[in-house]
């Protein structure tokens, strides 16, 4: 006797979404899929690799009119030569980035050298993946962009599943699709840091529309020359937007 395929709502009623370790009959981890949907609701962040460094620009998205803009941190310094920004559940991102900061400092103390960016990304991705495999917890509802310079400018993205990829340019968050379309049309490997900042800020300005303001934008870059995270002041963002 033929049976109808199980629909998403039936999955939920049958309890396949009650733990991240339970596969549905069609091979899905529903809790992980929910975590990825959470990221889609987060504020937008952009990363670009330029010929002379790497750029991060993020929307701080004020949730209250009386909130002090300077108290919102969207771009974090992981190590002297590495920055990161997250979208999704803010507290999940903060915990993982603090873990990355600890790993970076442990590496410096142990080996007296700056940590390799890819090694750091793999460690964070392993933590994310573990929360999709073992019971007693939930997946991290956050995607993170790691940007920095070791021998060359590098940009990586990790998502809630624990997978990671290296990018020339990418975006995460609610306007991910629109921003990626803009990047695909305008990104060039010959862009300078100044060009990259201008492209990212103008992309956010376009997708935010009337909600855009300089106070909402957080920007930083790491140059090949200095290999140190530099924050972009609001005054400069205002000039290039």
Indicate which CATH number applies to the domain containing 120: 3.60.20.10
> Within a domain: residue 211?
yes
- For residue 157, pLDDT over 90 is answered with yes
> Within a domain: residue 20?
no
Predicted pLDDT at 62: 76
Q: State how far the alpha carbon of 25 is from the alpha carbons of 30, 88, 133, 161, in Å.
A: 11, 28, 17, 19
> Within a domain: residue 27?
no
> Within a domain: residue 11?
no
Q: What is the reported pTM?
A: 0.91
Predicted pLDDT at 10: 59
- Are 54 and 47 within 8 A, CB to CB? yes
| Residue 204 lies in domain | 38-240
> Within a domain: residue 42?
yes
> How long, in residues, is the chain?
241
> Within a domain: residue 142?
yes
Number of domains in the chain: 1
* Phi, psi (degrees; rounded to nearest 5) at 197: -60, -45
Tell me 223's DSSP state.
Answer: E
- For residue 7, pLDDT over 70 is answered with no
Give 18's pLDDT tier (boundaries 50, 70, 90): confident
> Within a domain: residue 219?
yes
- Which stretch of 12-26, 33-47, 186-200 has the lowest confidence by average pLDDT? 12-26
Give me the mean pLDDT over the 121-126 stretch: 97
Tell me which residue of 134, 121, 129, 157 sits closest to 39, measured CA to CA.
157
Contacts for 17-22: CB closer than 8 Å, 24+ residues apart: 19/135, 20/131, 20/132, 20/133, 20/135, 20/137, 20/138, 20/139, 21/132, 21/133, 21/134, 21/135
> Within a domain: residue 206?
yes
């Amino acid at each position: 006797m033929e049976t109808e395929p199980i629909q998403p709502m039936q999955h939920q009623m049958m309890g396949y979404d009650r733990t991240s370790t339970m596969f549905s009959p069609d091979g899905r981890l529903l809790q992980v899929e929910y975590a990825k949907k959470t990221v889609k609701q987060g504020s937008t962040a952009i990363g670009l690799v330029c010929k002379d460094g790497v750029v991060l620009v993020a929307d701080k998205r004020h949730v209250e009119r009386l909130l002090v803009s300077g108290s919102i941190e969207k771009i974090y310094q992981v190590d002297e030569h590495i920055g990161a920004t997250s979208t999704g559940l803010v507290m999940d991102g903060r915990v993982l980035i603090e873990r990355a900061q600890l790993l970076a400092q442990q590496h410096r103390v142990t080996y007296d050298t700056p940590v390799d960016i890819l090694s750091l990304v793999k460690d964070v991705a392993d933590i994310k993946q573990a929360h999709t495999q073992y019971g007693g917890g939930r997946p991290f509802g956050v995607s993170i962009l790691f940007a920095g310079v070791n021998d060359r400018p590098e940009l990586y993205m990790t998502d809630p599943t624990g997978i990671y990829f290296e990018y020339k340019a990418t975006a995460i968050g609610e306007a991910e699709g629109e921003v990626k379309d803009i990047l695909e049309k305008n990104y060039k490997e010959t862009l300078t840091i100044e060009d990259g900042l201008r492209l990212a800020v103008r992309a956010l300005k376009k997708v935010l529309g009337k909600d855009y303001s300089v106070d909402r934008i957080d920007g930083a870059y790491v140059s090949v020359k200095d290999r140190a995270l530099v924050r972009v002041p609001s005054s400069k963002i205002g000039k290039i937007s």
